Structure 1
Amino acid sequence: MSTIVKICGLKSAEAVAAALAAGADMIGFVFFPKSPRHVSLDEAAALAAAARGRAEIVALTVDADDAAIAAIRDGLRPDWFQLHGKETPERVAAVRQLAGTQVMKAIGVAEAADVARNVSYAPVVDRLLFDAKPPRDAALPGGNGVTFDWDILAAGAGGKPFMLSGGLDPDNVGAAVRRLADVPGFLGVDVSSGVERGPGEKDAGRIAAFVAAARL
């Protein structure tokens, strides 16, 4: 099976076009005002129009309330919600029901216990995303450009499908895919800051290189 590649934090038509041209399977829009990748709902809807039917559309939220989830559901019509905050398993289940979409929960990882501790999410999500736990002084829950020891995921996620994020870039994604290729449940990789020339500014060349390296 070909590695699934998600390019997250897209803010411009040029970045969306680059992701599609490179063959990305999923594109993500960030709804979190503190992030340099934040977009308005109107902006995301306009950008997603070019991608609909060509790549799965992902809405990334951070502890969003019901009103925000419903607005994104109706205005963007995403294929996925990616929950990147401190949502409990109960909240994830509620969002999944309200959104009527597939849901992916991001889990911060620094040690093996972080994976084991979050098996409670498995029954209420369609997919898990293992991301590097943010530094203590980080303002953002993801997109910080830091990695974690991929060997922590050697046993998989209890049979649940999962993707990898955290500090990936065109230079190391091939090694990550090779390390996890035979791990039960591993589906693919997610990148944001690793394909940027500056915070929130995607680079078409880096996007193309990342996708190519992920599929070697």
Structure 2
Amino acid sequence: MKHNVAEVATLLPDYLGFIFYDKSPRNFEGEIPKIPSDIKKVGVFVNEKVVRVIEKAATHKLNIIQLHGEESPEYCGELSDLTSNLEIWKVFSVGETFNYDLLKPYENVVDKFLFDTKGKNKGGNGITFNWQVLRQYPSKKPFILSGGIGLEEVDKIHTLMERELPLYAIDVNSKFEIGPGLKNSTELKQFIYEL
């Protein structure tokens, strides 16, 4: 896995994600290999104890904490207070519809929202949600788009980028996998080029 991380890092993505959730087949263990300092490291956690998130962030010199569980606004606020040098991204699962009122309590305690496809797993379901739902996005807070994004979605992403939405980044994962946690760097390179 370390070799694959280093290989993907040569593409100079803005972010690299590392999943710290032992129920995931992509759970990351060991040390993160040296990567260019311009690439920010995202630690993905699911309903983890605050103290453990802080430990992992320090050990792996993470830049961003991505919360992929049912973390409350209070939890996010506590984590934000204890890790003022880190960004916090809160994930919300989206289906055919989404209740944007769910975002309001998080507005002041997270830095960005991430919208992923609602599915049986906490992530990595490999399917996109109905992006038309984003037309009603009521916030000015930047968001990350995730969920089953691959080469086939490039044109749809370009269309979405034409809208006046605070779309901040695209999160890709399962559509580029050749094994749990291992990415096809050739296809990723093509995706970055086309995007």
Structure 2 partner of 1:105: 90
1:53-108 deviation per Cα after TM superposition (whole angstroms, max 9, x unaligned): 12011110001102211211220121100000000111111112223311000110
Which of 181, 184, 188 is matched with 1:200 structurally?
Answer: 181
- Partner SS for 1:27: strand
Q: Which residue of 2 aligns with 1:8?
A: none
1:76 maps to which of 60, 70, 81: 60
Partner of 2:46: 62
Q: Please, what TM-score do these two structures have when normalized by structure 1?
A: 0.82
Matched residue, 2:25: 36
| Cα distance, 1:210–1:18 mapped onto 2, change above 3 Å | farther
2:128 corresponds to 1:147? yes
1:191 match: secondary structure: coil
- Paired residues for 1:151-190 under 5 Å: 151-190=132-171
Instruction: Please give the alpha-carbon distance, in whole angstroms, between the structure 1 residues aligned to 2:22 and 2:169.
Output: 27
1:209 is matched with which residue? 190
Higher relative contact order (CA 8 A, sep 6+): 1
CA distance in 2, matches of 1:18, 1:177: 26
TM-score (norm. length: structure 2): 0.91
Structure 2 residue aligned with 1:24: 13
In structure 2, relative to structure 1, the CA distance for the partners of 1:111 and 1:93 (3 Å cut) is: farther
1:146–1:116 Cα change, 3 Å: farther
Q: Give the Cα–Cα distance (whole angstroms) in 2 for the partners of residues 157 and 105 of structure 1.
A: 16
Instruction: Say which is worse superposed, 202-211 or 101-110, in terms of deviation.
Output: 202-211
Size of the aligned set, in residue pairs, is 194
- Give the drift of 1:157: 4.4
* Matched position secondary structure for 1:207: helix
Q: 1:81 to 1:167 in 2, by over 3 A?
A: same
> Partners in 1 of 2:135 and 2:180 — Cα distance?
31
SS in 1 for 2:23: coil
For residues 50 and 128 of structure 2, what CA distance do their matches in structure 1 show? Answer: 32
Structure 1 position 130, deviation (Å): 0.6
Contact 1:20 1:54 in 2 (8 A): no
User: In the TM superposition, what whole-angstrom CA distance separates every residue of 1:163-208 from its partner, at most 9, and x where no partner exists?
Assistant: 1000101221342242244232111200111111233321111221
Equivalent residues of 1:83, 1:105 under 8 A apart: yes
| Ranges in structure 2 where 5+ consecutive residues have no aligned partner | none
**CA RMSD of superposed structures (Å):** 1.7
Q: What is the percentage of aligned positions where both structures have the same residue?
A: 29
Given that 2:46 and 2:67 are in contact with CA atoms closer than 8 Å, whether structure 1 keeps it comes out as yes
169-178 or 80-89: which moved more? 169-178
